[in-house]
Amino acid sequence: MQIYAQDCRMLTGEPFNLRALRGQVLLIVNVASRCRFTPQLAELDQLYRRYRDQGFTVLAFPCNQFAHQAPEEGEAFESFCSRSYNTTFPLMEKVKVNGAHAHPLFRLLRQQAPGMLGSTPIKWNFTKFLVGRDGQVIRRFGPSVPAARMEEAIKLALDIPFSA
């Protein structure tokens, strides 16, 4: 349950109670506004709207570590996401995901779900971590993986029967 013990903040700077999401399936994503993967924000929001009533939440953390593709701060980033992609999931504080100053949540996620060939650094924006109801990372998805390819794993984590 270490994931729920991490301190997080919303884009507005106010504390976010991650413990309140205990028992939910989470998709934690480092996002950017000026990346070729930015249109995934709309796909992520569709997943969130489709499954939130079954206990699913998307948490998006802007990250400016990759080619400075998330330069906006706070409300400017939130306004961009809302205006351009009609996002409704929680937008968290801007963080670093790699290096000495990486947010502790992302250090934990990287340890629980290494990438290709066991490497732990996050390679680019829109790396996604699917976290089960028990707070353990189920799977790490690379930046190019679209929402449609994650949906089966999300439904499995939510224990939703597959349609024929």
* Residue 27 near residue 56, CB atoms below 8 Å: yes
Q: Which residues pair with 135 in a beta bridge?
A: none
Q: Which candidate in 8, 35, 63, 81 is catalytic?
A: 35
63 counts as catalytic: no
CB-based contacts of 156, cutoff 8 Å, min separation 6:
none
DSSP per-residue string spanning 106-134: HHHHHHHS--GGG--S--STT-EEEE-TT
What would the two tokens of residue 115 be? 């990438």
Number of H helices, E strands in the chain: 4, 6
Residues involved in catalysis: 35
